[in-house]
């Protein structure tokens, strides 16, 4: 009886080295597949970056053209007027920042001075540091009225270092003439709109 042709008549057993080699071949094919996948992803990303760069380049050129068109429409005389206006506003701000306004001081005098005390002369000045100085002379109806002014100045605190000097009592009507020297708080002379 003859054996069917599919059954071998002899065989050689495979060695263990051949089995290990087959496993290594499987590992390298997996590694190759991963390498091709990474290469494919990198290629797709490169295409995306390339086309995005082209889109940005086209957008930039259209924006540059629009900017050039708008720049061509700008009138140099209008720009010069705006620059001149800005310079004038800056100068006005600087002038107002350095401007002394004594209206607050006079309002304070109107509220602190009793009606029986008046100034006959008043000199207000600013020194180099911007500190306001008050020098004046006046007449009070009595010494008590003058003391009330001194107390009012001390209580308010914005008229500082008030020194009353040259106090002379008039014997006819008991009125008191005086001289005043003081410094003023900066908020009393600072201009505020």
Measured CA distances, 156 to 26, 27, 149, 160, 173 (Å): 97, 94, 11, 9, 30
CATH architecture of 101-188: 2-Layer Sandwich (3.30)
pLDDT confidence of 71, banded at 50, 70, 90?
A: confident
Q: Name the residue ranges covered by the structural domains of the chain.
A: 101-188
CA distance from start to end of the chain: 127
Give the mean pLDDT of 24-40. 79
pLDDT at 6 over 80: no
Tens digits of residue pLDDT in 95-147: 877 777 777 888 888 888 888 888 899 888 888 777 888 898 999 888 888 88
In sequence order, what DSSP letters do the residues of 105-129 get, joined into one string? HHHHHHHHS-TTEEEEEEEEEE-TT
**Residue located via tokens 């995005």:** 52
């Amino acid at each position: 009886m003859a054996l069917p042709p599919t059954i071998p008549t002899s065989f050689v057993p495979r060695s263990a080295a051949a089995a290990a080699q087959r496993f290594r071949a499987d590992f390298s094919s997996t590694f190759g597949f991963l390498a091709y996948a990474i290469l494919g992803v990198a290629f797709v990303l490169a295409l995306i970056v390339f086309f995005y760069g082209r889109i940005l380049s086209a957008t930039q050129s259209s924006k540059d053209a629009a900017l050039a068109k708008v720049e061509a429409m700008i009138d140099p005389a209008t720009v010069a007027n705006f620059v001149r206006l800005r310079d004038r506003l800056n100068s006005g701000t600087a002038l107002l920042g350095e401007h002394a306004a004594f209206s607050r001081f006079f309002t304070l005098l109107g509220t602190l001075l009793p009606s029986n005390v008046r100034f006959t002369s008043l000199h207000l000045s600013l020194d180099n540091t911007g500190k306001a100085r008050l020098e004046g002379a006046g007449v009070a109806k009595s010494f008590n009225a003058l003391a009330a002014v001194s107390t009012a100045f001390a209580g308010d605190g914005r008229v500082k270092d008030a020194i009353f000097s040259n106090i002379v009592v008039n014997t006819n009507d008991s009125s008191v003439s005086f001289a005043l020297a003081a410094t003023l708080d900066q908020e009393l002379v600072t201009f505020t709109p």
